[in-house]
Structure 1
Amino acid sequence: MTAFAIKQWLKPAYLVIRRWQVPPVSLIYRPLHWLLLSLRLAGAGIMRVLIWTPMFRSQVTGGEGLYLYDGLPQLLGPVKVTLGQDCRISGVSTICGRPGSVLELGDNIDIGWQNTIACGTRITLGNNVRLAGRVFLAGYPGHPIEARARAKGLPERPHQARAITLHQDVWVGTGAIILAGVTIGRGSIVAAGAVVSRDVPAGVVVAGNPARVVRNLEAADEA
């Protein structure tokens, strides 16, 4: 019997074995699921209280009432971080910065899953700011504009690093990018996937790439 014939003969048996499953007996597997879920939540809670929160707070200023979930945020580079009260930060997020940069968070701020906050000079988030998942606050580009300088591995030029300010009550949707030098006015909303390269006035919704005003929230409230 050739190798090809053996392979053809074994293939049906392999498919049967690969597809075989233990029957999902609810009486067994539902309690087991809840048990494993409870153990996972309990373990995460213990890590948050005993490890993640005190470790993160040892590297920042403030942070009373801080709630970390899903791990410990990455804190990279010589960035100074100041936290207000009652902030909630996903552990699957990254905070980085250039020398001398500052990240200042107000009170009652949400920083969602897979956020990246790159501080060029200063990034300020006012009270009640909400950042959804995969938001990128790009305070500096990481590379210079000149191709030869990039090829040499040189960092960005100082003038490329600029401040970002999100005033009170701003909400930034999933996957949005806010570039260096941008200020977003109080209560404005950045739609999911928007790329904000210019200042945004207060009380509006911006969307698109580049982002533009698509709705006036104050007029909508009056209507």
Structure 2
Amino acid sequence: MPLIRLMFAVHGVAWGRHWRIFGMPIIQRHRGSTIMLGDGLELRSWKASNPLAPSHPVVLATRRASARIQVGHGCGFTGATIVAATSVIIGDRVLVGANSTIVDTDFHPLTRAGREADILAGACAPVTIHDDAFIGMHCLILKGVTIGANSVIAAGSVVTRDVPPNVIAAGNPARVVKTL
């Protein structure tokens, strides 16, 4: 655990209380950006730490100086990737299933001319996931999305638009299939 604590410190991420870290996560913090992680955090990057066997470590990455990743208290991630160019805000007690990805950016322009002008100028929009949401395994949460409190995103879903509170959303693109 001392090596992991050192890695967090080197990347400017304060160590929280009651964290459980399995395996070595990957942290890529752009200078000037912020990664804030709440107490009671659980990161599972080691295959033997979960029967769903994450295919890669948890990744927390900011791409710009103004970017922010903020994770509330009591959250858990298994082999998840979170990338922020603007902001990814995750509330309290949110669980993110194995090998899911949350991004607030397209990373690159969608047109050839745009990529030739500036390869890193992809569109960005904040992502917000409210308290007590559950993201199933192998989900993709894309830029500009808000997921309401107590909502469930079914395994393998691609979320391209907002999901209201207290629902189950599923599919590609994800749509509401049930009210809780």
Query: In which range does the TM-score fall when normalised by the shorter chain?
Result: 0.7 to 0.9
Give the structure with the larger helix fraction. Answer: 1
User: Which of 23, 32, 36 pairs up with 1:82?
Assistant: 36
**Partner of 2:69 in structure 1?**
103
2:28 pairs with 1:67: no
Conservation of the 8 A alpha-carbon contact between 1:56 and 1:72:
no
Contact in 2 for aligned 1:53/1:67 (Cα 8 Å): no
Distance in 2 separating the partners of 1:175 and 1:72: 18
Question: Alpha-carbon deviation of 1:69?
Answer: 0.7
- When residues 186 and 205 of structure 1 are mapped into structure 2, their CA distance, relative to the original with a 3 A threshold, is same
Corresponding residue for residue 48 of structure 2: none
Cα shift at 1:149: 2.9
Instruction: Specify the code of the residue in structure 1 equivalent to 2:170.
Output: A
Gaps of 5+ in 2: 46-56
Give, in angstroms, the shift of residue 55 of structure 1.
2.4
Q: 2:152 aligns with which of 186, 189, 194?
A: 189
Report how many aligned residue pairs link the two structures: 166
Higher relative contact order structure (alpha carbons within 8 Å, sequence separation ≥ 6): 2
Identical aligned residues as a percent:
28
- Aligned-pair RMSD on alpha carbons? 1.6
Letter paired with 1:125: I
Q: Which residue of 2 aligns with 1:56?
A: 8
Map 1:144-223; keep pairs closer than 5 Å: 144-151=109-116, 154-157=119-122, 160-217=123-180
- Unaligned segments of structure 1, at least 5 residues: 1-48, 218-223
**Contact kept in structure 2, 1:188 and 1:205, CA below 8 Å:** yes
- Equivalent residue letter for 1:72: P
TM-score w.r.t. the length of structure 1 is 0.70
Partner Cα separation in structure 1 for residue 60 and residue 108 of structure 2? 18
Q: Deviations over 1:60-93 (max 9, x none)?
A: 1352222211123332434310111110113412
129 and 57 in structure 1: CA distance in 2 versus 1, 3 angstrom threshold: farther
Read off the aligned partner of 1:83 and give its amino acid letter. Answer: L
User: SS of 1:51's equivalent?
Assistant: helix
Task: Tell me the equivalent position of 2:99.
Answer: 134
Distance in 1, matches of 2:15 and 2:24, equals 19
Cα shift readout 1:177-209 (whole Å, capped 9, x = no counterpart): 111110000000000110111110000000001
CA contact (8 A) 2:35 2:68 kept: yes
The SS at the match of 1:123 is strand
